[in-house]
Each structure stands twice: as C-alpha cells, then as structure tokens.
Chain A
Amino acid sequence: MANLKTAEKKTKAQSMGLHTEVLTGKTQQKFFNPDEAENFFYWGAYDVDFNKRTDLDVKDMDCKEANRRIDELMSQGYGTIVIKNPQGKHSLGVGILNKLNLIFEGSLGYFGVGSIDGPMVRINGRVGWSCAENMMAGKVVIEKNAGSCFGAAIRGGDLICKGSVGARTGIDQKGGTIIVGGDAGAFTGFMMQRGRIIIMGDVGINLGDSMYDGTIYVGGKIGSYGSDAIESPMTKSDIDWLKRKLKVAELGENFDVSKMTKVVAGKKLWNYDALEPTEKKGAI
C-alpha cells in the first residue's frame, strides 16, 4: 500500500526536477528513506543530554587526541561540547555519528567535521578545504569563509557558510543542501549527482560542469556555465523552498529569491545516451 506521506514528498520533489527513487543497499535505505531517517541510530551511539555542556581546549592536542576526547565526552553523556582554540588544525570533529551540539570557537583546517551523521555544528571562524566531506545528516553552520571542495560528496543534511567559499563547492554532491551567503569559486557543483546548492552571491567559471542531476540556485553573476549545465525556469515550489531554507540558514532576510538563476543538468552528455560501451566505440 502506498505511503501517502512519502508520495506527497515525491510529488513536490518531482516538480522541482529532482530524483526521488529510494537508493538500493541496506545502509542507504536506512539513511535516505524519509520515514526511517528520523528514527535511525547507529549501533553504539551515545545517549547524550543537550543540556549537559562542557568545554574542551584543544590548543595542545593533535587532531587524533582531540577527536578521541570528543568521543569520550559523548560517552559521558555530554550533548553540548564547545571546542576552544582549534587554531586551524586539520580533521577536527570528524566521524561523529551521533546527535550532538558541537561548537568550535575558532577556525578549522582541512577536512573539518568530515563524514558526520547527525550532529549540529557551529563554527565561529573559517574552515579549510573539504569541510564536511561525505556528511550524511545534521547541520553545519560556518560563520566566516570556507576553502575549496566545500561539502564534497555530501549525502544529506544542511551545510551553510555565511561567507564566501572556494572552488569546486559541492563537487560530487549526492544529496543534502549547501548554502553559501557570499561568493563561490570555479567549478561549483562539478559532477554533482543530487541535492541542491544555493549561492547567494556570484559564482566563478564552469558552474555545474558535467553535473548529472541536482539543482543549483545563484543569486549573483555567473562566470560561465560548465558542460551540460543549463538554466531552468524557477517554479513556485523553488521559491517557497528557497525562502524556507534561507530562513533556516539565518541568511537573506530581505533577499529576493525569485530573481535567482536556477541551473540544472541538460542531460545531453554521453552518459545519458542509450548506447552500450561497444556501440560508443563504433560511433567514435
């Protein structure tokens, strides 16, 4: 029997040009089925209390030690952890598969909060390359700028940068939403496969190059379009969703989302044709 709630979601998503099929594989079904995602938890996840709060000064720790200490604190039930003096260190806050309020008072280096599933993260500074790579769920808010490969291959969740981001934002993105308050560099949405990217400012050259699917919204100027990236008309669903999403992201109170440019895949690249590999060879 059809699940009406899911069917309704599918209709909305389809009107925005998004895929809706449930992915195969045991783990991915757990993560991407909208009815089950809310109730999913990892074996061994900690039962934390968001009102139980502590500080962790990582000034004299390397990333392994700092991440181990975060895990220890979660095992003790701390649901809100404030990291002091991150000082641009790499790979902090990675691999957290737990509900948690994680606050960084400062900036992170490369691969910050990568491969997370569930935590709410706020970074009161800047992040380096590949922030939140492979993020599955949760929310990450960066108060300042971000480096290149921001949100590389994320599968879900909301990744928000209030400043500007570097090149290849959302490269290989497979789901979720990336929101940027400022500008973005070249190759934004490069080979993205699903999910949505919102850039409120300008973007560099080769926007959406070789994207398979997904949607990119741009508020400012576009340096150039990449291969097979095309403009698509904005719908009422787009506008409603953008308004709601920017509100959640604490951005763009007076921003006119109806004037944004919507970019999608033209689906004319070789990978969208019906030829078998042997036939392609013949065609060449």
Chain B
Amino acid sequence: MCGIAGLIHRGKSSNVGSELQLMLQALKHRGPDSTGYALYAENDGKNFIMRFKVGENVGEGSTSVNEDASVYDKRKKLVDNMLSELGAKVIKEDQLTPYSFRYEMEFNNDLMEFSKKIESIESVEILSIGKSLELIKDLGDAAAVSERYGLGEVKGTHAIGHARMATESGVDIKSAHPFWGYPFSDVSVVHNGQLTNYWNNRRVLENKGMRFMSECDSELIAVYLAEKMRNGATLEEGMKDSLTGLDGVFTYFVATKDSLGMAKDTMAAKPLVLYESDDLVAMGSEEIAIRSILPHEIDTYDPFDGEVKVWQI
C-alpha cells in the first residue's frame, strides 16, 4: 500500500524534519516496513553532502543477509581511499549507524563517474549527493528512523518522505524510498503504486548507462526522470512524459533543490490529498498526514487523473 507525504514552504525555512516525521507517522498503517526522508536542509550550499551506506540493517524484520560488522570498517576505508583518488576532499564526516555515513566534501568533477567508482566497492550504495538534499532511509517507522538519525531538528524549505509496505522487493534499505535521481545532485523521488513495465524500461535505461541499485519498481521513476533531464528535459516535462512512459498505477513526488512536484497516473488509482496556500503546500496519501501538521480546518482536494504539478520554493 505505502504512504507518501511531502511539503514545501514557499519563501521561508521551517522545521521540515519534525513536520515530515509527524506526517509519515500518521501514515504508518500504510507501510510499517521502512521509512525514508528526503530533506532539503539549510546547508551553506558550498560543499556536497554525500549520504551512503556500506551494508544493510539486519535487525528485526529485515530480509538482508546478516554480516559481521567488521566488514563495514573495511568498506568505509575503501570508500575513503577512492574519494582521495577521485580528488574529493572530505571536510566533515559523521557515522550515523554502523552501516551509514554522512560526508561533507569538496568535489568539482562529473558526478556520474564519481558515483560509478564509489559504488564499484562491494555493498556500497550512495543514498544521495547534493548541496541541500539529506536523504535518510532505514527500517522502522518514522519516529524510530528520525530518532536514529537525529532528524527532529533539521530545518529546511521542503521535504518528501515514504512509509513503505514491501510488495515488489525485500525489506531492506536499498529497496526503501526515497530514491536518489542518480546522477543528479539534489533530486529525490517517492512513489506509491506498482509499475508494470519496469523490466522493459530498466533494460532500455541500463543500455543508456543509467544505474539501478535495487529491484524495487519505484526506483525506475527516479532513473526515468534523471535520464529525461540528462537529455535536456525540464523536471515538469519529464514528469509529463512519465504519464505515458510508465505503465501501472502510481502517485509519486519528486523534489529538487528548489522545487517539489507530484504526478498521478491516468487511472487515478492511487490516493493523494493536497493542501495549497500562498506559503505552504502539503500533500499526502491521506488527509490525516496533512492534519498532523495543520490541525485547524483547511480546504484540501484530490488532484485529478493524469495531473502533474510543480511548485517552487
């Protein structure tokens, strides 16, 4: 089933970490397996933030193979060596769990080549690269993930998130949403639905040099949009193309460093409730997600079938 939520403050920052946590927690019944956040935070915008993992969460409910934690240190050292080779200068590093890291770094070359090299190391996956994007995903509900990664105090302009019920792939971090729009900095996607032409599209995109890290059908949306933008399409153009290029049922959100968008398939088979005012747009799979941050009486509506909308900060 899955639940998705997103919000964008126009013209100001807010406590998007705690706001998104409340929205996703309200949707916990739609997906208790894992929770993911893509927060567009108040960073100085000078350096890249890279979030990556060197292993999986093998805790209760996980479908991942158990590994000795000592391999995480070895893989992290390999990542550090590779960063030096690629000319990236690490300014600050944080270890958030035994298997996940946040690096702030100076880097000025091609991100696609950079990502390919880093991810050539066994079990290493870049969750996101961006100058404002902080992408965090892990097993557990919104409150548990927020507490584990200290997201409650994160301030920013916009955010999207996902509460996942695993249907098409395993209960693990690599299949959790959001998906980074590799190789674009600051692009993330969350999705509710099922795509039925996943493998056809995946084969075509892989032949064009795009990379897939999971077998989760939702990852296709991120890669599909990234490939469109790589060929010069705007985000909105790519999203409109996706209405015919992607087959199945879907409602998805996509965020970039300064915008937030939503698209709904032509059958309108997946729910979405939207609240829009001059200074805030909030949306979610169910109204209770919006009510969790706006308890007073508000006007909301369901976008129609085949609708695409994009808002700027």
Contact = CB atoms under 8 A, between A and B. Distances in A.
Question: Do A and B interact?
Answer: yes
B297 A128 contact: no
A128 B290 CA distance: 12
B291 A88 contact: yes
A163 interface: yes
Interface string A167-209: 1100000000000000101110000000000000000110000
B288 A88 contact: yes
B178 to A, nearest CB: 24
Q: What range describes how many residues of B lie at the interface?
A: 20 to 34
B304 A185 contact: yes
A107 interface: yes
B153 interface: no
A147 B302 contact: yes
Contacts of B300: 107, 126, 144-145
Contacts of B266: 186, 205
Given A145-B302, A185-B305, A186-B304, A109 B267 contact: no
A164 B267 contact: no
A214 interface: no
B305 A186 contact: yes
A144 to B, nearest CB: 6
Contacts of A128: 271, 273, 286-287
B295 A87 contact: yes
A268 to B, nearest CB: 23
B271 A126 contact: no
A167 B299 contact: no
Given A87-B295, A186-B267, A187-B267, A148 B302 contact: yes
Contacts of A118: none
A2 B87 CA distance: 94
A87 to B, nearest CB: 5
A167 B305 CA distance: 7
B149 interface: no
12 contacts: A87-B291, A88-B287, A107-B287, A109-B287, A144-B299, A144-B300, A145-B299, A183-B304, A185-B305, A186-B266, A186-B267, A186-B306
